[in-house]
Structure 1
């Protein structure tokens, strides 16, 4: 078995609970769930549909507004944006449109596809998505292809705690979460995209830029 980020074969068992095992890459520190513990695609979609990820949910829009603020503080309104893994409601796009940005949505789980297969973007947002991706290498290749040469990727995900606290961590209770990252793992993801990482005022939001 190879790591889904760096390709290393240095994989060991990191933790186990009643529902799943968690493996860890010794090279890039990715912690991931083996495929035999994945939900089916239908189960995954059903779980997402239980979430109230709508424009009417103030808690959800407040959560997304932090991404909007990061973008507004750093990038002009003429930048093109792709919301990768937008969800059925594509709420981030709606919030960005209200601020004057052009944002397209992409989420194959909900049959939301890019209109132009050749288009590239100034910014690609991966907000609470990368922890769900089954084909992480393929998705990173897709993102790299769609990113302009000087473009920026914005990743939002929680970094995992130390080993003593990992099995107590709320993030692993969501069975659709199958990839877990340390700051080193984020650095490796950035390297895959020929980018470097800079932090923001939000501890779970990372900018990957040239």
Structure 2
């Protein structure tokens, strides 16, 4: 069944016929949102996606710094369960564990926290640290902090993330979970014009099942997906 404006295919799992979910104001336009019945992804219509210029203008408002204790505390929600998992691997005799922070932004901080904890982490960002060579390598872990909600082509982007991981590698994700459908219109996360995909825990469960990976949800908004050995 081909895609159409009323029932587009899911951009993550490609299920045909996603259902209309909401029509809401975003920036200076109305945006249609859809819900996939298979993977439970909620996504914005393609015609309402922000332009690269709109994205860059919004990103320029971010003031993140590794010297900001509050920002470090925020990132610790992802870093701490990942470090616990990596520490267990190190104790089991794994060689040096190397990672990549995918979508590090203009003030790389998570990579510094992980490196300080003994797990060297490189930085990649398509706007602020765009080194294509890093995407030709594989890593023991890849972090995505407040990144996956920006994906315009989530199937392709998650495919790239999978390709970056070695066997037994971990994909560590932090993103705001959509758990209150009734409050979607008022949700601050939805009102960010660069947020175009919204995930439920079930969405990560679907990915883990499809990939044959192990899923851990150690805290709200945190998902750790571990590849098989």
TM-score w.r.t. length of structure 1: 0.92
1:157 corresponds in structure 2 to 175
8 Å Cα contact 2:83-2:114 kept in structure 1: no
Root mean square deviation, CA, Å = 1.7
Task: Report the Cα distance in structure 1 between the residues aligned to 2:155 and 2:210, rounded to whole angstroms.
Answer: 9
1:147 maps to 2:158: no
- Name the SS of the counterpart of 1:75 in structure 2: helix
What 5-or-longer segments of structure 1 have no aligned partner?
A: none
Number of the residue aligned with 1:66: 77
**C-alpha spacing 1:17/1:79, structure 2 compared with 1 (3 Å):** same
Is contact 1:157-1:205 (8 Å) kept?
Answer: yes
- The runs of 4+ residues in structure 1 deviating greater than 4 Å are none
Larger Rg: 2
In structure 2, stretches of 5+ residues that fail to align are 1-7, 91-95
Aligned length: 209
Distance 1:113 1:194, change over 3 A: farther
**Is 1:14 the equivalent of 2:21?**
yes
Counting only pairs closer than 5 Å after superposition, residues 39-188 of structure 1 correspond to structure 2 as: 39-76=50-87, 78-188=96-206
Q: 1:18 to 1:116 in 2, by over 3 A?
A: closer
**1:3 aligns to 2:10 (yes or no):** yes
Q: Given the two structures, how large is their TM-score scaled by the length of structure 2?
A: 0.85
Q: Give distance in 1, aligned partners of 2:132 and 2:72.
A: 23
Q: Distance in 2 between matches of 1:161 and 1:65?
A: 22
Query: Post-superposition shift, 1:81?
Result: 0.9
Give, in whole Å, the separation in 1 of the partners of 2:77 and 2:200. 21
Is residue 104–residue 114 contact of structure 1 (8 Å, CA) maintained in 2? no
